[in-house]
Structure 1
Amino acid sequence: MMVVQNFVVDLNKALVFQVGHLGEAYEEWVHQPIVSKEGPRFFENEILEFLTRTVWWAIPVIWLPVVCWFIYKSIRMGLSCPHLALLVVLGIFVWTLLEYSLHRFLFHIKTKTYWGNTLHYLLHGCHHKHPMDGLRLVFPPAATAILLMPFWNLVKLMATTSTAPALFGGGLLGYVMYDCTHYYLHHGQPRTEVPRNLKKYHLNHHFRIQDKGFGITSSLWDKVFGTLPPKMDAKSM
């Protein structure tokens, strides 16, 4: 148990409807990580609890066929291979900016109200409190499916009928790469320099400076927007 401003957070009970009571103390509490591979219980309800847990390999199994289907749609509409490849790469690139922006401005939004704290804990706070919880490192597919609809509609507004599917497929592929990379950075044991530095970079965000280093798949946008952690230059990335 932990006592915060006269409120007791019982780590042995479902946490979601407790953390809101922390008020302004929530920000400090949620950024004091508990390093354990066993994640906490979120809900008393078994169905809700089940929906919060996702094995990492479900992400490529579920979404890579969807990526292929969207890309195939553009092929059927006569898109050339070079044009197709360019759009997929562009989609991945756009995703990296979205990944950075969501992590920095939404996932790390400061909250202090009951429902603000509760929603933040569900969205990202739980990951900072229990960073090694292997079943809550990737985004639940049901939630992803809901969010994909407005993004797909937005892409259709911005691109042509033939280019929109390839662009969206590239963005979705970027998401799959991101979620798998995120899991690997927490539980993988990289043996080569690039992934080893990326793992160090991300764990630095969790355990050292949590308001810097928002990139997951790369530090590109942290460099662009000036959110690189102190004493970490381009050479160390």
Structure 2
Amino acid sequence: MTGEMVGFTVDLSKPLVFQVGHLGETYQEWVHTPILTSESPRFFESDFLEILTRTVWWVVPVIWVPVGLYFITMSYTMGHSLPLVVLMAVVGAFVWTFLEYCFHRFLFHIDTESYWGNTFHYLIHGCHHKHPMDGLRLVIPPAEAAILALMFWNLYGILFTLSIRPVMFGGGLIGYVMYDMIHYYIHHGQPTKQSLKSIKKYHLNHHFRIQNKGFGITTALWDRVFGTLPNTKAADKSG
């Protein structure tokens, strides 16, 4: 399993992860042609690995909201006033929206054609574009989120002081939870508020019309800043 197989066809009845790499340069077209069913395809032969790829939505707030609040409270106990802690937590959540945009644009949408490049991309995001209604692979699995959280905790140790680091990190975790919950809801919910309707339309436009623009989930701010905002006409036609 080291390279492209000429004329390779993915067998959807078999575990997918170690097949998709063989698509080579045809992978990008394949993965961005969605299958609109709510079925959760099998990724691995191993039941253990398979379990690690599936996460019900409510696990995210159950795990990460308490963790985020713990770190926010830590900065308060270190002597910062409550209004300042709340303000820094909001800033931390805002910083997350930028990280969210960067991950989505520069990592989740990397252009690959090698066997392992295709395999990696499918695991981190390609599966979501191929099966956008798979509710068990929409939010980030806890093990993957924990690895990312540890990376950012260490990075924040370089960027911030000892007492500011926890609240910025905790605010970022709350921002992440909001992101994953909004993302899940706009795929599987039927919003009645205009703000959520607009977010849903914006994101579905990214999936089904212009997949190289509209990378924001929580907000379209960074798409505006960096020129990746889809044109209004296309967005209005998306449903």
TM value normalised by structure 1 = 0.95
The CA deviation at 1:100 is: 0.3
Deviation by residue 1:62-119 (Cα, 9 ceiling, x = unmatched): 0011011101111110110121011101101110000001000100000000000000
Mapping of 1:139-218 within 5 angstroms? 139-218=140-219
Query: Which residue is equivalent to 1:105?
Result: 106
Distance 1:21 1:5 in 2: 8
Query: Which residue is equivalent to 1:56?
Result: 57
Query: Which residue is equivalent to 1:231?
Result: 232
Deviation by residue 1:14-73 (Cα, 9 ceiling, x = unmatched): 000000000000010000000010121100100000110000000000001101110111
Structure 2, gaps ≥5 residues long: none
Runs of 4+ in 1 over 6 A off after TM superposition: 233-236
Counterpart residue type for residue 144 of structure 2:
A
Alignment RMSD (CA, Å): 1.7
Identity fraction in percent: 65
Distance 1:108 1:8 in 2: 22
Deviation by residue 1:142-178 (Cα, 9 ceiling, x = unmatched): 1111121121011111111111100100011110100
Is the CA contact (8 Å cut-off) linking 2:21 and 2:117 kept in structure 1?
A: yes
The DSSP-based 3-state class of the residue aligned with 2:9 is strand
The CA deviation at 1:231 is: 2.4
Is the CA contact (8 Å cut-off) linking 1:71 and 1:166 kept in structure 2?
A: yes
Query: Which residue is equivalent to 2:131?
Result: 130
Distance 1:204 1:235 in 2: 9
Instruction: Report how many residues are paired.
Output: 233
Is the CA contact (8 Å cut-off) linking 2:205 and 2:234 kept in structure 1?
A: no
The CA deviation at 1:232 is: 5.1
